[in-house]
Structure 1
Amino acid sequence: MADQQSYDLVVIGSGPGGYVCAIKAAQLGLKVAVVEKRKTYGGTCLNVGCIPSKALLHASEMFAEAGHSFAELGISVEPKLDLEAMLGHKDKTVKANVDGIAFLFKKNKITGIIGTGRIKAAGEVEVTKEDGATETLPAKAICIATGSAVAGIPGVELTFDSDTIVSSDEAIALEKVPETMVVVGGGVIGLELGSVWSRLGAKVTVVEYLDKVLGPMDGEVSKAFQKLLVKQGIEFRLGAKVTGVEKADKGARVSFEPVKGGEAETLSADVVLVATGRKPYTEGLGLKEAGVKLDDRGRVEIDAHFATNVAGIYAIGDVVKGAMLAHKAEDEGVALAEQLAGQVGHVNYDAIPSVVYTSPEVASVGKTEEELKAAGIAYRVGKFPFMANGRARAMLKTDGFVKFLVDAETDRALGCHILGAGAGDMIAEAALLMEFGGSSEDLARTSHAHPTLSEAMREAAFAAFAKPIHV
């Protein structure tokens, strides 16, 4: 039995942070157990978040291209949507990924336990199984990697269901395409899932509290991106405070009022998707009883080494400070495992990219222009449009641009922002450049294969320290 064993590390939660931490720790020779409350491993990301949404984003993009772009490429088709099959593709993708985590646990001799974990005290995790039975796992170290949960709307009472008022969890499994959809929230989740259902035929309206979409993203990129979404048929109500979401005789209604004052408005839709972000998941973990401190936003407080105020208890991922990104959680998981094994683990939070998997994609790493101006940092800008990229023309993917921000004196890369096809893959080049303290000239003098979309990165880098070649 598991409670007859003592572990070097017990991880609560098997999302990207938890499972990566567990695998890395096991690779480094530690005896590891993982406790997961779902019936399958992978957390929100693999089960109802990153992975299933990307399957739908890709499938819906192919459907849209077949209906709008193929003819220009000399391909004549009349696409017909089979939503059941599309959702089936999503489910198969999820299963392959969660099964993969189970395989990796077995391969690395990690004990996986399905049940709800609670910290009894430093060094002890109590697991409650589905049948009510409990067992205790002694551990030298405990890692809280419980991730986040859907956040609601401040001051608005919500009741989610499976088909009318939905969160992102339900929005990946609608059984039919709604005629109309209101998305509350103009951030990453809302725009990704809104674009899925828009491409499949829904009339989508986004209601956002801020006066711009993708709040923390670079302002120039945000404005250009919104214009492209408007061309795709998505409407926006910006600077709007939602005051109510309720079911109607048919569908639901969203009430909102201008943040800066004005007449209130109500929109009706078949489906309302509430995508206002996520909150740290700490419910039922026994943190208060164990003496683990939370900050004023409900996140577990940690030091620079992921340690809480209670010796032997650590936390990573969405449940702690910082961006709620799967790869940020993974980086923290690796660093913590290395530290527990006596090595030196480190995360460079200035070089963690962020991606919006719409069409076109949006990707960002480092500082925005707004942040540099606020900090009083002198900088230069280098930009290059995909319209001037030969491969982009050949692919009919000419929307968007690459934008580099570099230190005016040293030329060191401070940020990179991409709006365009393949942005999510290309941003890795900028992240690597920043990780090693590189300059725009370093990137510009690095040979890039021709013709590729990545040449736009090189041209933008040329623009930052000299002049681009092709504009």
Structure 2
Amino acid sequence: MKTVYDILIVGGGPGGIGTAVEAAVHGIENILLIDKADNHSSTIRKFYKANKKVDKDWKGQTINIEGNIPFMDGTKETTLNFFDRLLDEEKIDTAFNEEVENIVKNEKENIFLVTTATKSFKAKAVVITIGKMGKPNKPSYKIPPSIKEFVNFNLDDCSHGEKILVVGGGNSAAEYAYELADEGNTVTLVYRKAEFSRLNPANEDILYQYNGQEKLRLRLNTDIISLENEHGKVKVNFDDGYYTIYDRVIYAIGGTAPVDFLKKVGIKLDEKGKPIYDEHYRTNIPGMYVAGDIAFNTGGSIAAALNHGYHIVNSYLRRSGKLYSYTQKVDEFFKNHPQFKE
């Protein structure tokens, strides 16, 4: 919290790496790259087999690299090694195993507060490049197909006057619970632990206040064993031997879907759920940008994502009045990275 980053990047894929490295090449010093996985490029690590080819011109797209990252065709291993060297040699700050839960802008200070389950960061600008692969975590037990329409992983399709069970112990679960209670629903929040450990103070205060006022019920130290269809409603069987019938169950147990996350942080979306941005990749929130597949139909092109980072950094420098001739900086980059000239 003591450091105010110039640029904070949410997402450690090619778009995030491209933004971080371009920022460093342009002379920006305080840069932070955050990703919920345990390392960058999680999609490549997870879905690419060993020695699988990684093409610059993905699916026949011919895209010229516009920035300062000379990405070329390679394999899974050489691509990951290439990105490792970029991040290490440019000394980019990283925070892995940190899933961003919310981003709020302090308009008075013109600073963003970025919060994860355990930490908070401040930044002058934020770039969201989380890709389209994100999806909510689901329970290990089976959800019967006949009641799937009454099981949610966000607030979509919720109505008023329902009896709802919210599952989870994080800030998203807390916010779902008290917002639904405010809308006239009968809400129970169930959490498997005896006390909350990941809530920010404001959300925790609201939960216990609402619980005391009987606006919602907290059911702590309780886990769910299974779900059943009970005459068209959701029967929830708990590990304490009891069960309860609900109109709807909402899971908030991590892995927020990208569209839900964009809505939460206040980015305006079009009718297809795509973020709205201008020619400089700026959203409706000044200082907040989008890059990569979350915003653009790149088809997974690494080259296109790297270009997004280049243009975002230039836009940031223009806005902040820091754009200058960086020929010397680029020359120094290639002097220190002779292998990239090839």
TM-score interval, smaller chain:
0.3 to 0.5
Q: Normalised by the size of structure 2, how large is the TM-score?
A: 0.45
Higher relative contact order (CA 8 A, sep 6+): 2
Q: Look at both structures and tell me which one has the larger radius of gyration over its CA atoms.
A: 1
Q: Normalised by the size of structure 1, how large is the TM-score?
A: 0.34
